[in-house]
Amino acid sequence: MRAVEIIEITDNCKSCDHCSSICPTGAITGKLGQKHDINHQKCINCGQCLINCPFNAIQDLNQINKVKQALDDSQKYVVVQTAPAVRVALGEEFGLAPGTSVKGKMFAALRKLGFDQVYDTEFTADLTIMEEGTELIERILRQKGPLPQFTSCCPAWIKYAEDRYPKILPYISSAKSPQQMFGAVAKTYAAQKLNVKPADMYSVSVMPCTAKKYECDRPEMIASGYQDVDVVITTRELAQMIKTAGIDFLNLAEEEADRLIGSSTGAATIFGATGGVMEAALRTAYELLSGETLGKVDFHTVRGLKPVREATVNIPIKELGQTVPVNVGIVTGLKHVDSVIVDVLAGRSKYHFIEVMNCPGGCVNGGGQPIRHD
């Protein structure tokens, strides 16, 4: 795979060697006492080393200047998407308690920063759910692909699979991540509706994740003929932009996302937590397979923080006239995924659908989130 330098260890490294135990791929080299370095070929850009460095000596590729240049360019029509996990962490940068939702203030701040359209990635999280749910059904009912199906939203997981287990790739959902779906939709459907040339549209993504910076730059992500997402900034970078612009964030009036591709369901909101994609996809699959509307939408069995969890959901399949147990697995933290993959490749896996996220607890603990050392 391409070696892109998203994460860097700076000269402030105290050589404490903590990061090497955090890295799920062994990409960090250096003995205790020696400045550490990152093997970018091995690095999956997750940024977990960055947010766990005791000395803030690890940095990600700062993209603020690119965003500012686009905002200052009168020829550019700049749209922005914000991931679900950003709104519950951004407030920490302004002194609010962790978990406080600042969704409305965030949309207002983005408009003050000069973005032409302010959207919510939840819109395409819903699309991802539909795609992954439908694909799962096709694999289960019509054998259109091997089982189990793995989720495809986490770019760190995708690079890990590509680097380490290329044979597992056919098992991974072919759906793009919500970020990349948004980029494609923005520069095609939205551009058409807004009467903006895709060439003039600049698509910015605010993510809790540093690996998204790598994902947006993948050469195949050009559905519109242009790079679908031009640049990704993290929650930390957005906070920095808001502070630099002198915006009184805490006193901003709440605003909504722009409607065209900004609306969403509650299923999209839970994407940022481990088990969230699975739960959302189960809701879709259940309704599509059973032909019934779910009265109770929560699947509590897939929730939790254990690194590997599993559940069985009985889904009445209208087409077959019988109820089929669907076995699902959830993995949070790539250090726990190897045995799951080995079982799948050996034909021993009991699962139909497996969600994999690199960061412990899901995207809410992503490498682009505020750094807390309290």
Partner 1 sequence: MSQVKGKVLKHAGQTRLMHWIHLICFVILGITGLGFYFKIITIDYIFGGIGNASVVHRWLGVVFTVGPLLYILTNFGRFSRFIDTISTFTKDDFKWLKTMGGYIPGLKGEVPPQDKYNAGQKLLGWLVIICCFLFFVTGFPMWLWRHAMPPQLLGLCYDIHFWDAVIAILAVAGHFFLAAIHPKSRVEFASMMTNGYVEAAVSAHHNEKWFATLQNDSELKA
Query: Where on the chain is the footprint of partner 1 (CB under 8 A)?
Result: 11, 14-18, 20-21, 31-35, 52-55, 373-374
CB count within 10 Å of CB 343 equals: 15
User: To the nearest whole angstrom, how small is the minimum distance from the Cβ of residue 98 to partner 1?
Assistant: 15
User: To the nearest whole angstrom, how small is the minimum distance from the Cβ of residue 29 to partner 1?
Assistant: 12
The answer to whether 153 is a known catalytic residue is: yes
Catalytic residue of the set 105, 212, 264, 349: 212
Structure tokens at 21: 């135990």
3-state secondary structure at position 262 = coil
C-beta closer to partner 1: residue 31 or 144 = 31
Catalytic residue of the set 131, 135, 237, 279: 135
C-beta closer to partner 1: residue 14 or 350 = 14
CB 78, CB 115: distance < 8 Å: yes
* Bridge partners of residue 27, in order along the sequence: none
Instruction: Residue 84: name the closest of 179, 194, 3 by CA.
Output: 179
* Residues whose CB falls within 8 Å of the CB of residue 74, separated by 6 or more in sequence, listed in order: none
C-beta closer to partner 1: residue 32 or 141 = 32
CA–CA separation, 238 and 178 (whole Å) = 19
Q: Which helix (H) or strand (E) holds 126?
A: helix 122-142
C-beta closer to partner 1: residue 36 or 352 = 36
The answer to whether 173 is a known catalytic residue is: yes
User: To the nearest whole angstrom, how small is the minimum distance from the Cβ of residue 99 to partner 1?
Assistant: 19
3-state secondary structure at position 221 = coil
The answer to whether 215 is a known catalytic residue is: yes
- Cα-based distances in Å from 211 to 198, 233, 280: 25, 11, 22
C-beta closer to partner 1: residue 9 or 232 = 9
User: To the nearest whole angstrom, how small is the minimum distance from the Cβ of residue 7 to partner 1?
Assistant: 16
The answer to whether 152 is a known catalytic residue is: no
Catalytic residue of the set 153, 154, 209, 216: 153
Catalytic residue of the set 93, 131, 215, 279: 215
How large is the angle between the packed helices 276-290 and 122-142, nearest 10 degrees?
60
The answer to whether 318 is a known catalytic residue is: no
CA–CA separation, 67 and 64 (whole Å) = 5
Q: Does the bond joining 307 to the residue before it have cis omega, within 30 degrees of 0?
A: no
Instruction: Residue 44: name the closest of 206, 155, 174, 208 by CA.
Output: 155
C-beta closer to partner 1: residue 17 or 255 = 17
User: To the nearest whole angstrom, how small is the minimum distance from the Cβ of residue 37 to partner 1?
Assistant: 13
CB 169, CB 71: distance < 8 Å: no
User: To the nearest whole angstrom, how small is the minimum distance from the Cβ of residue 360 to partner 1?
Assistant: 13
User: To the nearest whole angstrom, how small is the minimum distance from the Cβ of residue 21 to partner 1?
Assistant: 3
User: To the nearest whole angstrom, how small is the minimum distance from the Cβ of residue 332 to partner 1?
Assistant: 18
Structure tokens at 284: 């879709």
Catalytic residue of the set 93, 122, 131, 132: 132
CB 334, CB 44: distance < 8 Å: yes
CA dihedral of 13, 162, 237, 370, whole degrees rounded to 10? -70
Sign of torsion over alpha carbons 305, 310, 316, 319: positive
CB 256, CB 117: distance < 8 Å: no
Positions marked catalytic: 132, 135, 153, 173, 212, 215, 220, 363
